[in-house]
Structure 1
Amino acid sequence: MFDLLVTETNRYAAQVLANKIDTLKLHSRVNNWKNVDTSEMRAFISILFVMGLSKKPSYESYWSRWQRHFQPDREVSVDESMIAYKSQTGLLQYMPNKPHKWGIKSWGLADSRTGYMWNWQVYTGRQEGGRPHGLTYEVVTSLCQPLYGKGHHVYMDNFFISPTLFQELSDNQTGACGTLRAYRLDVPQPVKDARPKAGDDPHLFRDNEFLYITWTEKRKVNLLTSIHNGSCFFKRVRSKASPNCFREVRKPKAVQLYSQHMGGVDLADKQLQYNMVLHRCCRWWKKVFLYLMELSFNNALVIFKAANPGKRVNSEKFTLVIATKFLEGYDRLGVVKPGHPAASLERPARLTARHFPGKTQENKNKGKMSCNDCVVCSNRTARRHQTTFICKSCNVYMCPVPCFERYHSLVNYRITCNPGLHD
């Protein structure tokens, strides 16, 4: 993953430089661009994780991989999610019932118990040619397809559910349950006509392996399930009108189990809020990347808890451990701070300017070329080595191979000369 990030980052930078080469200002920071490597990318991700631990008002103040490492429980849920975003993009959506009303819509399949995001895809808008069975049918089937034949139970809300979708899941040994919009195609007429009152027994209608349940407490609920029966239980709920402020309600077990297992994607979104990276972006793809990175962190935390049952896990300490691991191998030497840094931290000019080798023009007696000790490999106490080559920019004596390259690329460039050094 990090190799891919490095490759695409450097490729994007090359495209930007090529497109703006004639319009860049003299002091534009783009002129100072240098290709990144894996250690720098890991360090950047580490900083993003740590930024999530301490939220500041500004920067200056401070997918298949998921499926390979975790097997969800039998109960999973499918739902939509919103990546908060307000800048211009063709993917921008408005959903007034979501906490983030503006953003990029995505679909997710999550483990109901832990909130592990097992499968995910972004909504890219309408497709040419349309969809034969509708958008929601294709979303659910594409998310659930890797789970086919394993006996999972998928919970979803009335935005997704249709009898046609349930038949597809049933044909692939996958159970399903969720609330239903009665006006959907292929919904039996008795279900559309059912209007039980509060306190009445639920209306049940069996259609082959599917069970339709219509039940009213505060408002009518239509439920479609292929994994439950019509059994009920008595539940104690609050009621101001009752003498002891409580009353018993006869509730279908299927409705209770739906409420229990539906919130996998919402649980994942909730857990993201605890250590969300503070990163304002003008590019939608950066926002999506950061969202996926946060989901990956949450999934990693779920895996760690599953591998260490009974162990208390602090998410902040877990973040710091990951950030520290990402920083391993990152060389901080040579990085210059803005402003007026101390002289010891300044990057020497020999490592940044343009340099060309040449021969000294000074002459000694008898017309011979002048020579002097190599600044890299010569050591008067161990092994002295003299050369006639110099760097034209630095005006320093050094051997062409390998001393010239060491002097202009390494902070600690000194080396002791040996018989095979200049071969």
Structure 2
Amino acid sequence: MSRKRFHQILRAMRFDDKMQRRARFKNDKLAPIRSLWDMWRHRLPLLFNPGSEVTIDEQLLPFKGRCSFKQYMPKKPAKYGIKIWTAADVSTSYAWKVSIYTGKSGEARELPPQLLNLKGRDVLSSVFAFTNNTTAVSYMPKKGKNVLLISTKHRQPAVEEGPKKKPKMITDYNRCKGAVYTLDQLVHNFSCQRRSRRWPLTLFFNMLDISAFNAYVIYTHVDPSWNEGKQARRRLFLHDLASVLTAPEIMRRQTVPRTPQSLALVKEMQATAHGSAAFQAAHREEELPRNLPEVKRKTCKRCTNRTIGTCVSCGHPICKQHRAPISCQSCNQK
């Protein structure tokens, strides 16, 4: 499609019924994209089985427009944006589960006061709390600082030997926390993000980026020998993914594009799809020459602007400013 058509689609893109949004927005801050977001995040854990280690960390999706749940995180490079909690597989960085932070909720689980109170505790001390399937630890690395961590993997109050006496939960987390950082870095290296002041559109672009990365992880697990040994495997995968997604639309085109490069691409894909020499021969005569003559710009009849347009009545060069619906303004005044 043309760039103009692409921008028209971006301006008109919506993910819900705007007439009913106000009533839903009172109880749901994600109302403009809630239905699409829920369908997407519910499918992520169904398509891939992670390994034995899954870590949870926060991502900051850069955004500086209006958003009621926009966060300020000074330690992040973007500082302002939408905070997303992501559970990623440690070995592959596959985004297994995601959740958007929209503010504090009344149903949040409270921690025991023994984990929050630091009075009377020794430096480098650890306090553990257990439930049926969860373990929490409070570690005090120095006076006045409290490090809290929750895990569903560890079931013993193990503390490593050494000068810092760190709990094994914290050392394991430090070893595995890079999964979300790696996911964030890889997603931003090859991104379809476009500048926008509408947070649902920014979130939609991030969904596409994560989906493309997850698809790459799944594909390389199904076929590990695909482009094995190449450093740009993910770039090659994204190129093939774009070709597969656009091929049906190219094949159904009724009119061919004007530029020689685009025309050659369309004919090649259509010929490959049909796979016959007769199809190629039937369309060979319709191909335009590759070296088209360069169109020279001329001075407008009514001003000094350079233009390639001409009046259909008198044939003189005329720019857009002095062009009438049918002919130039000079011909209409006669």
Range class of TM-score, shorter chain: 0.5 to 0.7
Alignment partners' CA distance in 2, 1:125 and 1:204: 28
> CA contact under 8 A between 2:88 and 2:97: conserved in structure 1?
yes
| Other structure's SS at 1:120 match | strand
The reply on whether 1:193 has 2:119 as its aligned counterpart is yes
Residues 321 and 92 of structure 1, relative CA distance in 2, 3 Å threshold: same
Using CA pairs under 8 Å that are at least 6 residues apart, name the structure with larger relative contact order, 1 or 2: 1
> CA separation of 1:225/1:215 partners in 2, compared to 1, >3 Å: closer, same or farther?
farther
Q: AA paired with 1:258?
A: Y
Q: Does the CA-based 8 Å contact 2:54-2:88 persist in structure 1?
A: yes
User: In structure 2, how many angstroms separate the alpha carbons of the residues matched to 1:287 and 1:230?
Assistant: 43
Which residue pairs with 1:254 in the alignment? 169
Say whether the 8 Å CA contact 1:277–1:290 is kept in structure 2. yes
Matched, 1:70 2:48: yes
Q: How many equivalent residue pairs?
A: 217
Unaligned 5+ runs, structure 1 = 1-8, 15-62, 138-161, 164-185, 236-247, 346-423
Secondary structure class of the residue paired with 1:192: coil
Which residue of 103, 114, 118 maps to 2:96? 118
Q: What SS is found at the alignment partner of 1:110?
A: strand
* Whole-angstrom distance in 2 between the partners of 1:215 and 1:195: 8
Are the structure 2 counterparts of residues 93 and 318 from structure 1 closer, same or farther at C-alpha, using a change threshold of 3 Å? Answer: same
8 Å contact kept, 2:60–2:81: yes
Q: Against the structure 1 CA distance between its residues 214 and 68, is the aligned structure 2 distance closer, same or farther, given a 3 Å change threshold?
A: closer
Paired with 1:77 and 1:13, the residues of 2 have a C-alpha distance of: 34
Whether the 8 Å CA contact 1:111–1:264 is kept in 2: the answer is yes
Partner of 1:82: 60
Structure-1 separation of matches of 2:173 and 2:117: 19
Deviation at 1:281, TM superposition (A): 2.1
Question: Does structure 1 residue 231 correspond to structure 2 residue 158?
Answer: yes
Superposition map of 1:190-229 within 5 A: 192-193=118-119, 195-197=121-123, 202-205=125-128, 210=135, 212-216=137-141, 221-223=147-149, 227-229=154-156
Residues 251, 309 of structure 1: alpha-carbon distance in 2 compared, 3 angstrom cutoff: farther
1:94-105 map, 5 Å: 94-105=72-83
1:326 aligned partner: 245
Q: Which amino acid aligns with 1:192?
A: L
Q: Counterparts of 1:13 and 1:207 in 2: how far apart (Å)? A: 48
Q: 1:99 to 1:231 in 2, by over 3 A?
A: same
1:301 aligns with 2:216: yes
Aligned residue runs from structure 1 range 261-272, under 5 A = 261-272=176-187
Which structure carries more helix by proportion? Answer: 2
2:236 corresponds to 1:317: yes
Q: 1:164-189, CA deviations, whole angstroms, 9 ceiling, x for partnerless residues?
A: xxxxxxxxxxxxxxxxxxxxxx2227
**Structure 2 CA distance, aligned partners of 1:260 and 1:287?**
31
Matched-pair identity in %: 25
- Distance in structure 2 (CA, Å) of the matches to 1:90 and 1:263: 29
More strand by share: 1
TM score, norm. by length of structure 2: 0.53
Q: Whose Rg is larger?
A: 1
Quote the Cα distance in structure 1 between the aligned partners of 2:90 and 2:199: 29
Q: Which runs of 5+ in 2 are unaligned?
A: 1-8, 15-40, 264-334
The equivalent of 1:379 in structure 2 is: none
Is 1:281 the counterpart of 2:281? The answer is no
* Residues 211 and 229 in structure 1, CA contact (< 8 A), matched pair in contact too: no
- Alignment RMSD: 3.7
**Are the equivalent residues in 2 in contact too, given 1:114–1:267 (CA < 8 A)?**
no
Work out whether residues 77 and 264 of structure 1, in 8 Å CA contact, stay in contact via their aligned partners in 2. Answer: yes
Could you tell me how far 1:208 is from its partner in structure 2? 7.0
- Looking at structure 2, the residues matched to 190 and 75 of structure 1 have their Cα atoms a distance apart, in angstroms, of 27
Counterpart AA for 1:78: I
Amino acid at match of 1:132: G
Per-residue deviation at 1:303?
A: 1.4
SS in 2 for 1:329: helix
Partner Cα separation in structure 2 for residue 270 and residue 133 of structure 1:
32
The answer to whether structure 1 residue 133 and structure 2 residue 107 are counterparts is yes
Shift of residue 335, structure 1, vs aligned partner: 5.6
Q: Give, as a single letter, the amino acid of the residue that structure 1 aligns with 2:239.
A: L
Q: 1:291, CA displacement in angstroms?
A: 0.4
2: CA distance, partners of 1:274 / 1:315: 10
Query: Helix, strand or coil for the counterpart of 1:280?
Result: coil
Give 1:133 shift.
Answer: 2.6
